[in-house]
Amino acid sequence: MSHRPALATDATTTRRTHAVGASRRTGLVMLVTGIVGWLASFQLTVDDWRLLKDPAYQPPCNISPVVSCGSVMSSAQGSLFGFPNMLLGLGAFAAVTALGVAVLCGAHLHRRLWLALDAGALLGVVFVHWLIGQSLYQLGKICPYCALVWVATIALFWYVMLHCLERGIVPVPRGVLEVVRDTHWLLLAAWYGVIALLVLTRLWPYWSSLL
């Protein structure tokens, strides 16, 4: 008696289970990064508004001359497009949160929507890395709430891209997909590690003064 039909059924069930798990993972990442990014953007918006009303106001994230939000928000880099950067975060992260909830509830987003989300996340990552460079090498400061936005944006891009690769929305060789799928958490940790190392080395005179 042939067991091929049973094996085929098992393989199909496994693929479907993996797909459901991947979708839940992606939806959860979208929800968490959306909430974290939105809250950080909201706090930056509130502090920026208070600074406009009272230039002497000290935001709670002004911890030291190096770890500070106020000076970063008031810089030219803080309003690159003619308005505060955090307003972009308020809109973008709200949309990401809503889509994350939809995915967790079982919604099947259209391929074009995934591509748009992936492209938007990519633009966000590029912008975030430009801000990291400006913050460290031009301003010589790090903004805690901005750092939360950096972390959220990178994780969002990484897992939306992984979802698009796994579903074939963005084509990639199978070997590459398997490597990324098997080591996605390790690669993301390495990405964060490089940024942490840059922060540590660039601002080492300040960190060493605390020892």
CATH of 23-209, one of 1.10.1740.10, 3.40.50.20, 1.20.1440.130, 1.10.10.10: 1.20.1440.130
Among 69, 63, 66, 64, which Cα is nearest to 40's? 69
Length of the chain measured in residues: 211
Residue 148: which residues within 8 A CB-CB, separation 6 or more? 36, 37, 39, 40
pLDDT tens figures, 17-59 = 445 556 899 999 999 999 999 999 999 999 999 998 998 888 9
Please name the helix (run of DSSP H) or strand (run of DSSP E) that holds residue 41, with its range, or none: helix 4-53
pLDDT tens figures, 80-136 = 888 999 999 999 999 999 999 999 999 989 999 999 999 999 999 999 999 999 999
Cα distances (angstroms) measured from residue 145 to each of 10, 36, 77, 83: 47, 10, 15, 18
Looking at the whole model, is its pTM more than 0.85?
Answer: yes
